Amino acid sequence: MNCDITREQIVAYLYDEDIRPEARERLKDHIETCPSCSQTLEELGSTSRILNAWGDEQPDLNLVFVQERQTLWQNLLPTRYPKTWATAGVAIAAILIFTFLNIEFAIRDGAFHTSISLRSSDSPERVTIADTTEVPSLDAPITLGEFIIHQQNLIDYTHRLVQTSQNQQRNEVNNTFIRLVGELETQRQQDLLHIDRGLQILYNTQETRYDHILRQIAPVYDKAVEINSVPVDNGPYRTIPTRRKTP
């Protein structure tokens, strides 16, 4: 989105009934004038309609919907105090802590360590605190807003998987078609080469046969011409007299 409204705020506007009326009214006025936020609200609404269309199923995990967890800061300071006073109090407390304490940070053996000691010229007592990241348990309760966000992330991830699978299948079909066209073209070239060789062999065979026949006919033709030739002086020929019949 191109504005300052986050997706989580729109999710809270759509699903959280405990949102303050003035905050809901401000979000409503903004969404009516912001096309990007309106589109996001429409997408979340379509997701809600899809979820409502599903039948109720018993989940495999023992999910418990509870109130949204309050932070330590929210428990210590009532909501009637302005945030500016709260920020100032935090800053003053941090200054006092760093004034009287000697805090050191270090990374050893791949773990984050914090060393805290009092600022004293005598032998200070140091306390080493290792930063351990708590892994949320599957049995930990989640709020409705967190469940909706996880569900939306799952739907988006499923859509991406489907799109990736479709693109992969499309690429495989295109590659198969290109390979088939290449094989057909190669086969066509080979067939044309075989036909050309066959025609060349046939032409050479017929030419050789014609030459052989002509070589056999040539002596006979020459002898026939020699026999049928008439000498100039008619020497080889004689006139045989015949008797006339008397009446």
* Rounded mean pLDDT, 96-120: 61
Q: What is the rounded CA–CA span in Å between residue 14 and residue 76?
A: 29
Tokens 């006339």 correspond to 244
Confidence of residue 1 (pLDDT cuts 50, 70, 90): very low
Mean pLDDT of the region 79-87: 57
**For position 111, what pLDDT does the model report?**
62
Query: What are the angstrom distances between the C-alpha of 112 and each of 106, 130, 194?
Result: 6, 6, 76
Q: What is the pLDDT of residue 33?
A: 86
Average pLDDT over every residue of 133-151: 68
Q: 113: which residues sit within 8 A by CB, 6+ positions away?
A: 105, 106, 107, 128, 129, 130, 131
Instruction: Name the token pair of 76.
Output: 């210590």
Q: Which tens digit of pLDDT belongs to each residue from 182-224?
A: 888 988 999 998 898 888 888 888 888 888 788 888 777 777 7
For residue 126, the model assigns a pLDDT of: 45
Q: How far apart are CA 185 and CA 190, in angstroms?
A: 9
